[in-house]
């Protein structure tokens, strides 16, 4: 950032920090720090795409992603870089989960996420290590092969995502676009970001919704209806 500022970014009238997946989490973690690099006259906002990793219970009753995050926080000494507003009352491992951070981010933040995030389904909800009898192997790869009980389980994951964003969405400065797709990172692909047939909620696509929020044209708190009603999704299928 110091290098970019020296090359002219310090004169920016508007700036957007964005990232997808791990970069989406980083956008949340460093949003306020990024904002402080600019004068108050600069419009500064942050966009997190597919970074809303949930501390969810997997199909075996354990918390696989919490164990993964524990390793990351410990290995990299992340605790010292996590917000004190969180670590003062929660374990640093929990403070690596966005659900415990988003309410305290002061800078306007937009959360773009698929309600059935493909990476989280594969690595957090039903990872191979938790799927003792390989009941989820086909469902992990192709949502169309999920049984009714498995879909119901995934509906619970979606409900958790909506619960943890409820308070966040009440702040008008923040934006939200949660569509009911089996996808991951929808801002970095043209077909999902800004194509004629890209995913929509109501009559607005992702790029238009983010643009309306960034330029303060309108408030954006968009939540799509539960699977299978969204016919605009570009769902990911794995071999």
Each residue's pLDDT tens digit, 121-163: 999 999 999 999 999 999 999 999 999 999 999 999 999 999 9
Do the domain assignments include residue 230? no
Q: State which residues of the chain have pLDDT below 70.
A: none
Do the domain assignments include residue 151? yes
Q: What is the pLDDT of residue 239?
A: 86
21 annotated active-site: yes
Number of alpha carbons in the 13 Å side-chain half-sphere of residue 185: 11
Across the strands, what pairs with 49? 20, 112
Report the C-alpha gap between 90 and 70 in whole angstroms.
13
pTM as predicted: 0.96
Do the domain assignments include residue 238? no
Report the C-alpha gap between 221 and 174 in whole angstroms.
8
Q: Is the dihedral of CA 164, 119, 131, 151 positive or negative?
A: positive
For residue 192, give the H/E element and its range.
helix 190-193
Q: What is the pLDDT of residue 110?
A: 98
Q: Which of 35, 100, 184, 209 is catalytic?
A: 184
ω into 228 cis (within 30 of 0): yes
Do the domain assignments include residue 82? yes
Q: How many CB atoms lie within 10 A of CB 122?
A: 18
Do the domain assignments include residue 80? yes
Query: What's the domain count of the chain?
Result: 1
Structural domain of 84: 2-223
Q: Which of 117, 180, 187, 198 is catalytic?
A: 117
Do the domain assignments include residue 53? yes
Do the domain assignments include residue 215? yes
Report the C-alpha gap between 159 and 166 in whole angstroms.
11
For residue 19, give the H/E element and its range.
strand 14-20
Do the domain assignments include residue 235? no
């Amino acid at each position: 950032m110091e290098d970019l500022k020296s090359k002219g970014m310090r004169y920016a009238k508007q700036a957007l920090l964005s990232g997808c997946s791990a970069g989406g989490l980083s956008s949340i973690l460093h949003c306020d720090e990024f904002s402080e690099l600019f004068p108050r006259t600069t419009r500064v906002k942050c966009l997190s795409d597919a970074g809303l990793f949930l501390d969810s219970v997997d199909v075996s009753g354990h918390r696989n992603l919490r164990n993964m995050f524990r390793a990351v926080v410990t290995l990299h000494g992340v605790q010292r870089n996590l917000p004190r507003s969180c670590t003062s009352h929660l374990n640093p491992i929990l403070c690596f989960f966005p659900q415990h951070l988003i309410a305290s981010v002061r800078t306007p933040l937009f959360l773009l996420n698929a309600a059935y995030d493909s990476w989280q389904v594969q690595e957090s909800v039903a990872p191979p290590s938790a799927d003792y009898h390989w009941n989820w192997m086909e469902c992990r790869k192709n949502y169309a092969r999920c049984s009714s009980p498995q879909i119901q389980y995934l509906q619970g994951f979606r409900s958790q995502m909506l619960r943890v964003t409820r308070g966040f969405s009440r702040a008008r400065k923040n934006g939200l676009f949660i569509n009911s797709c089996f996808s991951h990172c929808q801002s970095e692909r043209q077909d999902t970001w800004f194509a004629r047939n890209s995913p929509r909620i109501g009559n607005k696509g992702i790029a238009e919704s983010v643009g309306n929020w960034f330029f303060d044209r309108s408030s954006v708190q968009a939540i799509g209806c539960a699977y299978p009603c969204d016919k605009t999704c570009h769902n990911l299928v794995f071999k």
